[in-house]
A and B are shown apart, each in its own frame.
Chain A
Amino acid sequence: MKKIELLAPAKDLAKAKIAILYGADAVYIGGKYFSLRSRASNFTLEDIAETVAFAHERKRRVYVTCNIVFHDDDFFGLKEYLAALEEIGVDAIIISSLAVLKIAKEVAPRLECHMSTQLSICNSAAVSVLKNAGADRVVLAREMSIDEIKECTLNSTVETEAFIHGGMCSNYSGRCTLSNRMTLRDANRGGCAHSCRWKYFIYEGKEMVSDLNVLLSLSSKDLRASSYIEEMIKCGVASLKIEGRMKSEYYIAQVVKTYREMIDEVYEKGSITPERLAYYDSELTKAENRPSDDGFLSGDCDNTKHLYGINGEGVTHDYVAYVKNYDENRSLALIEVKNKFMVGDELEVFGPQMPNTVFKNTLMFDTEWKKTDSANKPTELLYIRLPFAVKNACMIRKVHKD
């Protein structure tokens, strides 16, 4: 049986490499054009080529999003762009348009075409229509329950992909133009202003019926499908997708590593015990800055799955440093500071293919070998005493006592 794919987002080249190093089987990225995340620092063709080389060297795959809802003017340069992606060796494009599907099959037939969740596909009959149109994979809507995902996947003759983690649109994807009205920004062309997260009064006729202390928000908690990984693997979903092309390298590393380990555990041991699931959930919590739940996977989304009053609850761990190098002879790691921390702090190192390890920060030097007690300048390089060996690309986070 083909092993399920773990698909991770990446905002830029560095994060794409982090996602791959931490265990993603494939990454999806946005190019400079035709991509829905206008605020992501999107990839040039050179960046895409470098990502593809890095990924293919490690037998991983790269997908490029071309999932804006095209207006006539937006097609300019599309054919050349798709041909270039194919030439570079990109494995697939993620699209939401039947026209783009047709064009891609003509000008870049070696590119797989994955139909975006923008199409909000909820059933196998719709999957079948897209398959007949030439689609190689269909990303399922986030509005489906696990039973619906199972049935749909079993009844489909083309690969399905399901979201497992990250932000949720409060509306069916693509079917929201709140930003157009509120801010003149087109959500379907990368301009989503997250109007769903704003606060609203409710009126019945002229009478206000909302609670002034807690206004209506359309915002939903983020998705966390950790409890469903085993079922998704067993029902034949081809790919598990993490949302978040705007997210930090720390988020990507933590979330990818956790799901990587979960997937591998299912394949190795057949299932995940409740104790192990609790551990994985605690790991995912370390990366979250908004509350999460299982969305529609368990059925309907009731009031416990919405966010009212607040947009987030804060994180329990702070990402404080990135390990650039480790000198085993001196037990010193060269780190890049990300957030403030001090000598005396309890820290935790985590990284690809290593267990999370807690240690007390006892000694730090600057690059001129002067001792320092405080790391408080982001991007500053420091040496830190680490009593155990670590690999490059590990990360260090502060452990909060509470």
Chain B
Amino acid sequence: MELVVTLSEFNNIHALADYGVSIMAGSDFSSRFSYTREELRKIVSTAKQRGIKVYVSVDAFINENDLTFLYEYIEDLKIMDVDGIYFNDLAVYNAAQSFGIENKLIYDGGPMITNSLDVSAYLSLGIDSVTLAREMTLDEDTNILRDHAGKLDMQIFGHLRMSTSKRMFMSNYFKYIGADYNPKNRDNLTIVEEKRDYSLPIKETEYGTNIYTDYILECSEEIPYFNRLLKRGIMDDAFIDFDVTLDAVRSYVRIRDNNAQFIAKALRYKYPEVNFDSGYFFTKTNIIKENEKD
């Protein structure tokens, strides 16, 4: 399993390269990253100098009138010779295909890929890999992984994205209450539902608003289940102190390479104040009310 760590700050690239992990960044059409094209070029060249792979996230939904710009961007990514492109909108596939680089694509439809047959359907497009949804149990994950060993990616660390909206929830709200407050591109905003305690990170960018889980998915203990089956494990450092992320990278690398299962709980012991969780690995989310059953 290759580890891919999101690069929220350019300066973190060398610390990550020291562990030999790959990185993920983004520029245009990315709600996750806001690097300029030139900054992205610098990231790619630095990664190549350090001998690590670099992946680019193109996670936005593409407007019709942005298609020309998208094609130009994908061609530029081909010229940069990035190692892979995570995409969400099928227009990216169309563009990559026109430049003959669809084999560098990794489909990431958020919660949309939850079965083996859909993985097959997307792989049949000639793309490199498919990212599994996180709203599945470990049993479901491993069943799909066995069907498609070495052809799947999955987030294995970080806050999970729960919602993707084109709406500017925060800007609109502050305008509504008449507050002079600019919430754009802030990493320190959270929302808490009035009857629940979950503190959910929320981020508004030019592409809209994303909301994330209160907890950080942490699966040191589960790595052995998918270490040999998963192509890439994604570690997302959004809203997380880089020290914590780096410790997680160190642990994951040791567990992956040395089967050091004895350190599986070390991260949780070291950061007892951090809300680590195993996500949906052991929690099914198919509850319906009794009176809603057939």
List residues of chain A with CB under 8 Å of any chain B CB: 32, 38-39, 42, 69-72, 74-75, 96-99, 101-103, 118-126, 128-130, 133, 141, 143-144, 147-148, 151-152, 155, 170-172, 174-186, 188-191, 195, 198-205, 209-211, 214-216, 218, 220, 296, 300-303, 305-306, 308
Collect the chain A residues with CB atoms within 8 Å of residue B120's CB: 99
* Known interface pairs A125-B91, A181-B213, A189-B286; A176-B194 also in contact (CB < 8 Å): no
Q: Closest chain A residue to B62 by CB distance?
A: A123
Given contacts A69-B133, A188-B114, A191-B286, 16 further A-B contacts (CB under 8 A): A71-B115, A72-B114, A97-B117, A118-B112, A122-B63, A123-B66, A124-B64, A126-B89, A148-B64, A174-B112, A176-B111, A176-B163, A178-B162, A201-B191, A201-B192, A214-B176
Collect the chain A residues with CB atoms within 8 Å of residue B115's CB: 70-72, 74-75, 97, 99
Q: Closest chain B residue to A179 by CB distance?
A: B285
B156 to chain A, nearest CB (A): 17
B280 contacts A by Cβ under 8 Å: yes
The 3 A-B residue pairs with the shortest CB-CB distance, nearest first, are: A99-B117, A98-B121, A125-B91
State the main secondary structure of chain B at its contact with A.
mixed
B254 to chain A, nearest CB (A): 30
Chain A to chain B contacts (Cβ below 8 Å), 22 pairs: A69-B114, A74-B115, A96-B112, A98-B118, A99-B121, A103-B117, A120-B61, A123-B67, A128-B94, A129-B94, A133-B121, A148-B64, A175-B111, A175-B164, A177-B160, A198-B193, A209-B181, A214-B177, A218-B165, A303-B172, A303-B175, A306-B169
Q: Closest chain A residue to B133 by CB distance?
A: A69
Q: Are B176 and A203 in contact (CB under 8 A)?
A: no
Q: Which one of B182-190, B222-230, B264-272 is at the A interface?
A: B182-190
Q: Are B95 and A125 in contact (CB under 8 A)?
A: yes
* Known interface pairs A71-B140, A72-B140, A302-B175; A180-B162 also in contact (CB < 8 Å): yes
Q: Are A143 and B61 in contact (CB under 8 A)?
A: yes
Q: Are A121 and B172 in contact (CB under 8 A)?
A: no
Interface string of B262-293 (1 = CB under 8 A from A): 00000000000000000010011111100010
Which one of A171, A203, A308 lies within 8 Å of B192 (CB-CB)? Answer: A203
Q: Are A69 and B111 in contact (CB under 8 A)?
A: yes
Q: Closest chain B residue to A129 by CB distance?
A: B90
Which one of B95, B111, B176 lies within 8 Å of A308 (CB-CB)? Answer: B176
Collect the chain B residues with CB atoms within 8 Å of residue A200's CB: 191-194
* Known interface pairs A129-B93, A171-B163, A198-B193; A148-B173 also in contact (CB < 8 Å): no
B69 to chain A, nearest CB (A): 12
B211 contacts A by Cβ under 8 Å: yes
